[in-house]
């Protein structure tokens, strides 16, 4: 019985990683950059909801909506100011800039909200489900997180397959130069990608803080890194890959805590990652890179 | 060329900031020369940015209140106190940098550092330079290994020992699970001693579950394992922000053991927006309780709330006591502000062992020559969202 | 002067790099002995040496080998802990400080190199971001592992445990060396500025000679075009591994200095986590990828910057972040480049000389 509850909690944690990883992987696929500030946008989303719900006393759904708007604007602004001028520069330069942005967001939050932990009121009001005579407890947050991330993943895939913008995104990710020649506005497409990624970050923030209800300026940093690992795990650039990678990461993390050693869980997760990448060098669902001679 | 330019840019920024500092420094230097040797310069070190900022900021604020009070009441031996708090980002190397900065400022005594690992590194330096050091919250054993270092808080092993004894003597439980932070000095220090002492108290440690600084969001597995092991009591030698999460998750998974913690747990009731019902019946050993009804605590909490908009935690109280302890030692030693740090150090060392002080974190606090404090830990239980003293 | 002109360009460039380090050393020594340097600056001398070494070491991987490593702090951690264990264990038996410290440096370098080989053999076939993430994972594993290790020593030798100090079963007079998360305390403070500078010079000698050797050219050929390099018969694995291992062992020596500069050594996210690896990467990128001298200068500036910003109190790290972003934008964005070209000093000087000639 406890195995099932470990598994469910792992899936719940994993689906939050997956949600964050979706944002990472989209931005990577299209802009070819690792947006290290993604985790901190999640934190900003969390604080926005906190302010709307607790300080202004608005209902949770409004909080999430405001957070989505705030994060989208923030994401697009950051892209415009900090990343766009570096479009031609080395990918490493953009990576460092992203790290700078990450420090900036953390320190701004520290100055505005202080370092004290804030306890987040869950935005989920679905009651917990109890199975097998209370042996297994499925909290409302777990259910919602899993459902929301599946819906978002399917939605994203449909969006990319069916819509014109989605097709443009695919084209840009394949070949920026060729896409531009075909009349696609590359800059606008990248901006849209950042907008979607940041909106997802806001939702991830809402769910992360609901399931694990503490909020500090550094809340987003570690889940951000873990999600990045998840994205690579699944094959970076691939949307279903990010989803699978996220879930797997959460499950492996929780099962190794449960059955091997809670002290070594981080090491085990990373060791599994190394092994997976050695066997499949581009991740679970990664594309094969063909070598041009 | 472009690199040269960027370096010039960077350099000019560095220089600009340097001159910025320089002018600020010369500003203080002027006031200093106006009042040469008329103030005691107390330095403080702790993290005010980074993940441990919450502790450093609390210490900084708590100490500032004490400094302001003392200055308003006429200072120490007729001299005012000057306070300078430097950031160390909870890093040993940065902490030594902060210490050197304070040395350049001509600090006469050090109140710090806040966290253990940096504290050990700085203690090495203060011992070398013979500067008096009083740490409010550096609880690991080697923090006060030298004669010139003292502390306000209990040492980690002491807390582990006291916790095991308290649980054993009061027969709270025989099967105990521990959830601790294996990447944290404070937490693993208490845990080690607790595990060592447990058999003597008839306590069986049925589970030792760890988390790390890198994975402290999900505690369901640790709780589930404690539950499966049949723990009647879960010992939490951790800080309150993680404990708040653990209590919330235990509640959603329907696990309701007795929870028992140390001084790190203090502050849990003041976490903004925390549902205090979750902490009902949680017990903790702590020297400070923010809602204690004595005048000293009430006044401190009120001032803190007014100045910083928050309820102080135990770190703030430790810092407040630390400043008053330094004051008491300065008075005991009949120190004058024109003494250098090296002159002050030996006399303060002797004075510390002689003073007897009532503070926020204990009554009749005395210190032994090895730097440890003698005060009674209070066991409190949270009933209806407030601390209730236990005996 | 004539001699300088006759030297070929690379020798001259190398010469400038060495001279820069030596001149900086002499100036600092003179200033320190004159007593005009603040305690803060004096205390920063050894850390500066450490970060210069780390930057040079990572530049070898990133700039010369062309692979992104986000786990350099892991090698530093290996070097730091292996050497600190040695120093603490032998502090009573080997009384000659120079000898003990020398052995400690060798141990740190070798231990890190061994890990470099172990990690390098399977991993160097990955490329780009995948290699980056594996090295990041390696760094985190090392850090996590160190935090659960307990190591003690008594008359019978070493005792090892992963549970707690109690299960070490230490005999009479035994001492705990690594105490889990509490790490190692009481490492002798042997690192000095002079030793740091000497090691930097040795490092530079190794790295610069490597770059301009046959092996170095092979390594750079692999970086620029792997397939072409392979087709002319360059043994890819051998050269990649060579560069990676040297880089790791230099990082290990950086760790040795780090461990012997502070009396306490713990593996925290702050000092040996990915944050540190990224910080070193910032030095390398800002100094110019592949530019060793640039790495040295930017490591010095960026290490000093947060300390110099102390006057700003709470806004310190905020300003640091902004400076970082602005510097990156200034360095790389096309508009800033145009601006710089328009107003560059070199052009200004050139124009003057042209005008002179015309006149």
Using 50, 70 and 90 to split pLDDT, how confident is the model at A74? very high
B15 against A70, higher pLDDT = A70
Question: What is the number of other CB atoms lying within 10 angstroms of the CB of residue C43?
Answer: 22
Instruction: Give chain B positions within 8 Å (CB) of C309.
Output: 17, 21
When pLDDT is averaged across residues C328-354 and rounded to a whole number, the result is 69
Residue C157, helix vs strand vs coil? strand
Do C43 and B2 count as a contact with CB atoms less than 8 A apart?
Answer: no
Q: d(Cα C201, Cα C207) in Å, to the nearest integer? A: 10
The verdict on C182 touching B (C-beta cutoff 8 Å) is yes
pLDDT of C302-336, one tens digit each? Answer: 999 888 888 776 787 888 889 889 888 887 777 77
Mean pLDDT of B260-278: 82
Provide the pLDDT for residue B391: 58
Q: What is the mean pLDDT of residues B124-140?
A: 92
In whole angstroms, give the CA distance from residue B258 to residue B183: 25
Which residues of B lie closer than 8 Å to A, measured between beta carbons?
Answer: 48-51, 53-54, 56-57, 182, 209-212, 214-218, 220-222, 224-225, 228, 240-242, 244-245, 248-249, 252-254, 271-275, 310
Q: Which among C164, C182, C327 has CB closest to B140?
A: C182
Chain A hits for C331, Cβ within 8 Å: 93
Both tokens of B367, joined, read 């210190």
Q: How far is B40 from chain C (nearest CA, A)?
A: 20
State the smallest CA–CA distance between residue B140 and chain C in angstroms: 8
Over residues B259-269, the mean pLDDT reads 84
Return the domain boundaries, chain C: 20-358
**Strand pairing partners for B149?**
B133
Task: Report pLDDT for B23.
Answer: 36
List all residues 6 or more positions away from B371 whose beta carbon is below 8 Å from its beta carbon: B143, B144, B145, B146, B147, B149, B150, B151
Ordered DSSP codes for B195-229: HHHGGGGT-EEEEEEEEBTTB-S--HHHHHHHHHT
Which pLDDT does position C337 carry in this prediction?
A: 72
Distance CA B378, CA C166 (A): 28
Q: Is the peptide bond before B113 cis (omega within 30 degrees of 0)?
A: yes
Percentage of chain C modeled with pLDDT above 90: 41
- Which residue has tokens 């500090």? A216
Residue C91, number of CB atoms within 10 A of its CB: 15
Q: Which tokens belong to C142?
A: 């090392």
pLDDT at C351: 60
Is A60 in the B-facing interface, judged by CB distances under 8 Å?
no
Q: Are B357 and B329 in contact (CB under 8 A)?
A: no
Q: Distance between CA B242 and CA A222 in Å, rounded?
A: 15
């929780």: which residue's tokens? Answer: A254
Distance, CA of B352 to CA of A160 (rounded, Å)? 71
Q: List the domain boundaries for chain B.
A: 38-154+297-374, 157-286
Chain B interface includes C329 (CB < 8 A) = no
Q: How far is B22 from chain C (nearest CA, A)?
A: 9
The pLDDT of residue B26 is: 35
Least trusted range by pLDDT, from A139-143, A273-277, B296-300:
A139-143
pLDDT at residue C108 in the model = 96
Q: What is the pLDDT of residues A214-238, one digit of tens each?
A: 888 988 888 888 888 898 888 888 8
Report residue B215's pLDDT band, with 50, 70 and 90 as the boundaries: confident
Q: From CA C16, how far away is CA C69, in angstroms rounded?
A: 28
Q: Is the pLDDT of residue C240 over 50?
A: yes
Kindly report the nearest CA distance between residue A215 and chain B, in angstroms. Answer: 9
What does the DSSP 8-state code read for residue B383? Answer: E
Structure confidence at residue C163 (pLDDT): 74
Tokens 């003392």 correspond to B70
Instruction: Give one word for A60, left, alpha or beta, with left for phi > 0 and alpha for psi -120 to 50.
Output: alpha
Pairing verdict, β B386-389 and B378-383: antiparallel
Report the range of poorest mean pLDDT among B59-73, B173-187, C103-117. Answer: B173-187
What residue has token string 């003292």?
B150
Contact C193, C49 (CB under 8 A): yes
Contacts of B7 in chain C (CB under 8 A): 294, 297-298, 301
Indicate the helix (H) or strand (E) that contains B30: helix B2-34
What is the pLDDT at residue C197?
Answer: 95
Chains in touch with B (3+ beta-carbon pairs under 8 Å) read A, C
Give A93's contacts in chain C (Cβ within 8 Å): 285, 328, 331-332
Q: How does the average pLDDT of chain A come out, rounded? A: 87
Specify the long-range contacts of residues C98-104, CB closer than 8 Å, at least 24 apart.
Answer: C100/C188, C100/C190, C101/C190, C101/C191, C101/C195, C101/C260, C104/C190, C104/C256, C104/C260
pLDDT of residue C19: 92
Ordered DSSP codes for B307-350: HHSS---HHHHHHHHHHHHHHHHHHHTT--TTS-HHHHHHHHHH
Instruction: Give per-residue pLDDT as tens, A26-50.
Output: 888 888 888 889 999 999 999 999 9
Question: Cβ contacts of residue C345 below 8 Å, gap of 6+?
Answer: B1, B4, B5
Class of domain B157-286: alpha beta
Instruction: Compute the average pLDDT of residues C1-12.
Output: 67
User: Does the pTM exceed 0.90?
Assistant: no
Question: Average pLDDT over chain B, rounded to whole?
Answer: 85
Quick check: C145 contacting A, CB < 8 Å? yes
Tell me the DSSP string of A230-288: HHHHH-TT-HHHHHHHHHHHHHHHHHHHHHT-SSSHHHHHHHHHHHHHHHSTT-TTPPP
How many residues are given for chain C? Answer: 359
The residue that leads in pLDDT, B79 or C133, is B79
> Is the distance from CB of A157 to CB of A240 less than 8 angstroms?
yes
Residue B302 has pLDDT above 70, yes or no: yes
Percentage of residues in chain B having pLDDT higher than 90: 42
Q: What is the mean pLDDT of chain C?
A: 86
Q: Please write down the HEC assignment for all residues of C65-132.
A: CCCCCCCHHHHHHHHHHHHHHHHHHHCCCCCCHHHHHHHHHHHHHHHHHHHHHHHHHHHCCCCHHHHH
Chain A environment of C302 (Cβ under 8 Å): none
**How big is the CA angle at C160 (ends C173 and B186), to the nearest 5 degrees?**
80
pLDDT given at position C4: 56
Burial class of B127 by CB neighbour count within 10 A (0 to 12, 13 to 18, 19+):
middle
Annotate A132-200 with DSSP letters as a single string: TTTTEEE-HHHHHHHHHHHHHHHHHHHHHHHSHHHHHHHHHHH-HHHHHHTT--HHHHHHHHHHHHHHH
Widest CA span in chain A: 63
CATH number 1.10.3470 is the correct assignment for the domain at C20-358: yes
Identity of the residue in C68, C144, C328 whose CB atom sits nearest the CB atom of A267: C144
Q: How far is A167 from chain B (nearest CA, A)?
A: 37
What is the reported pLDDT for B378? 76
User: Other C-beta atoms within 10 Å of C23: how many?
Assistant: 10
Task: Annotate C221-244 with DSSP letters as a single string.
Answer: HHHH-HHHHHHTT--HHHHHHHHH
Distance CA B91, CA B88 (A): 6
pLDDT at C286 over 90: no
Centroid of chain to Cα C183: 22
User: Tens digits of per-residue pLDDT, C17-27?
Assistant: 999 999 999 99
In this prediction, residue A244 carries a pLDDT of: 92
With b for 16 or more beta-carbon neighbours within 10 A and e for fewer, the B339-373 pattern comes to bebeebbebbbebbeebebebbbbeebebeeebbb
Between A277-281, B22-26, C40-44, the lowest mean confidence (pLDDT) is in B22-26
Instruction: Report the pLDDT averaged over residues C107-119.
Output: 95
Give SS3 for C37: coil
CA–CA separation, C221 and C231 (whole Å)? 11
pLDDT at B15: 43
Other C-beta atoms lying within 10 Å of the C-beta of residue C342: 8
> In a 3-state reduction of DSSP, which class is residue B75?
coil
State ipTM.
Answer: 0.85
What superfamily does domain B38-154+297-374 belong to in CATH? Response regulator (3.40.50.2300)
Residue of A nearest to B56 (CA): A115
* pLDDT at residue C316, rounded to an integer: 79
């Amino acid at each position: 019985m406890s195995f099932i509850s470990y598994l469910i909690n792992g899936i719940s944690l994993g689906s939050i990683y997956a949600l964050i990883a979706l944002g990472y992987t989209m931005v990577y696929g299209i802009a070819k950059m690792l947006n290290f500030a993604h985790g901190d946008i999640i934190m900003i989303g969390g604080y926005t909801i906190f302010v709307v719900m607790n300080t202004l006393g608005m209902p949770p759904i409004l909080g999430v909506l405001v957070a989505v708007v705030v994060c989208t604007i923030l994401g697009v602004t950051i892209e415009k100011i900090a990343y766009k001028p570096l479009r031609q520069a080395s990918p490493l330069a953009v990576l460092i800039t992203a790290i700078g942005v990450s420090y900036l967001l953390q320190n701004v939050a520290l100055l505005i909200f202080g370092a004290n932990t804030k306890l987040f009121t869950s935005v989920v009001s679905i009651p917990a489900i109890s199975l097998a005579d209370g042996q297994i407890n499925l909290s409302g947050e777990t259910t919602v997180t899993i459902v929301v991330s599946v819906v978002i993943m399917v939605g994203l895939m449909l969006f990319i397959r069916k819509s014109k913008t989605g097709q443009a995104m695919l084209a840009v990710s394949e070949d920026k130069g060729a896409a531009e020649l075909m009349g696609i506005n590359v800059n606008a497409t990248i901006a849209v990608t950042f907008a979607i990624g940041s909106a997802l970050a806001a939702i991830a923030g809402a769910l992360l803080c609901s399931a694990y209800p503490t909020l500090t300026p550094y809340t987003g940093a570690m889940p951000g890194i873990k999600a990045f690992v998840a994205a690579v795990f699944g094959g970076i650039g691939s949307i279903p890959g990010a989803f699978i990678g996220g879930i797997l990461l959460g499950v492996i993390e929780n099962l190794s805590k449960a059955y091997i050693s809670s002290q070594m869980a981080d090491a085990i997760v990373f060791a599994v990652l190394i092994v997976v990448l050695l066997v499949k060098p581009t991740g679970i669902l990664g594309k094969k890179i063909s070598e041009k001679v | 060329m472009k690199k040269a330019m960027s370096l010039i840019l960077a350099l000019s920024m560095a220089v600009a900031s340097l001159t910025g500092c320089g002018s600020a420094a010369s500003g203080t230097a002027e006031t200093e020369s106006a009042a040469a040797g008329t103030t005691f310069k107390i330095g403080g070190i702790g993290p005010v940015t980074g993940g441990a900022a919450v502790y450093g900021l609390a210490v900084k604020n708590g100490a500032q209140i004490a400094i302001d009070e003392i200055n308003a009441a006429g200072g120490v031996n007729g001299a005012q106190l000057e306070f300078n708090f430097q950031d160390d980002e909870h890093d040993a190397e940065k902490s030594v940098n902060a210490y050197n900065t304070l040395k350049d400022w001509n600090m006469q005594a050090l109140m710090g550092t806040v966290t253990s690992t940096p504290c050990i590194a700085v203690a090495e330096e203060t011992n070398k330079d013979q500067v008096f050091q009083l740490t409010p919250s550096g609880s690991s054993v080697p923090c006060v290994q030298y004669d010139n270092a003292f502390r306000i808080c209990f040492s980690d092993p002491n807390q582990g020992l006291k916790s095991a004894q308290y649980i054993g003597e009061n027969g709270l439980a025989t099967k105990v699970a521990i959830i601790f932070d294996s990447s944290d000095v404070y937490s693993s220090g208490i845990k080690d001693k607790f595990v060592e002492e447990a058999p003597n108290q008839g306590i069986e440690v049925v589970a030792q579950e760890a988390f790390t600084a890198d994975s402290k969001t999900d505690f369901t597995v640790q709780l589930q394992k404690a539950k499966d092991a049949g723990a009647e009591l879960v010992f939490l030698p951790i800080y309150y922000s993680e404990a708040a999460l653990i209590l919330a998750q235990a509640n959603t998974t329907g696990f309701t053991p007795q929870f028992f913690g140390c001084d790190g747990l203090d502050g849990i009731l003041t976490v903004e927006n925390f549902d205090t019902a979750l902490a009902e019946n949680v017990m903790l050993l702590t020297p400070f309780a923010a809602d204690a009804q004595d005048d000293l605590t009430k006044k401190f909490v009120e001032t803190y709330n007014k100045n910083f908009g928050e309820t102080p935690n135990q770190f703030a109280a430790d810092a407040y006591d630390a400043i008053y302890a330094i004051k008491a030692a300065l008075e005991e030693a009949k120190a004058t502000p024109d003494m250098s740090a090296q002159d002050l150090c030996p006399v303060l060392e002797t004075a510390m062992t002689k003073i007897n002080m009532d503070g926020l974190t204990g009554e009749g606090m005395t210190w032994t020559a090895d730097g440890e404090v003698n005060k009674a830990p209070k066991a409190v239980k949270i009933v209806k969202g407030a601390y209730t003293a236990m005996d | 002067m004539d001699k300088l002109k006759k030297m070929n360009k690379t020798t001259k460039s190398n010469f400038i790099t060495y001279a820069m380090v030596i001149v900086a050393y002499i100036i600092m020594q003179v200033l320190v002995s004159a007593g005009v340097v603040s305690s803060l600056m004096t205390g920063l001398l050894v850390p500066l040496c450490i970060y210069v070494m780390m930057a040079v070491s990572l530049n070898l991987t990133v700039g010369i080998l062309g692979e992104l490593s986000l786990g350099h702090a892991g090698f530093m951690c290996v070097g730091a802990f292996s050497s600190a264990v040695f120093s603490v264990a032998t502090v009573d038996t080997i009384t000659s400080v120079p000898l003990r410290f020398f052995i400690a440096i060798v141990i740190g370098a070798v231990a890190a190199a061994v890990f470099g080989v172990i990690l390098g053999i399977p991993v160097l076939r990955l490329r780009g971001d995948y290699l980056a993430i594996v090295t990041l994972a390696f760094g985190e594993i090392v850090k996590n592992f160190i935090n659960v290790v307990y190591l003690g020593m008594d008359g019978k030798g070493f005792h090892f445990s992963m549970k707690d100090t109690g299960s070490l079963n230490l005999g009479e007079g035994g001492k705990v060396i690594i105490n889990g998360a509490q790490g190692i305390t009481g490492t002798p403070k042997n690192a000095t500025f002079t030793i740091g500078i000497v090691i930097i010079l040795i490092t530079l000698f190794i790295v610069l000679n490597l770059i301009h050797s046959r092996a170095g050219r092979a390594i750079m050929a692999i970086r620029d075009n792997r397939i072409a390099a392979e087709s002319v018969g360059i043994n890819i694995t051998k050269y990649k591994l060579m560069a990676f291992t040297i880089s790791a062992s230099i990082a290990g020596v950086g760790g040795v200095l780090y461990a012997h500069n502070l009396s306490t050594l713990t593996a925290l996210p702050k000092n040996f986590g990915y944050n540190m690896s990224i910080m070193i990467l910032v030095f390398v990128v800002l100094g110019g990828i592949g530019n060793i001298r640039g790495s040295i200068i930017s490591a010095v500036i960026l290490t000093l910057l947060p300390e110099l910003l102390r006057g700003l109190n709470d806004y310190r790290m905020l300003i640091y972040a902004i400076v970082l972003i602005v510097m990156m934008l200034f360095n790389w964005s096309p508009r800033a480049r145009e601006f710089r070209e328009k107003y560059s000093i070199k052009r200004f000087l050139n124009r003057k000389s042209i005008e002179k000639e015309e006149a």
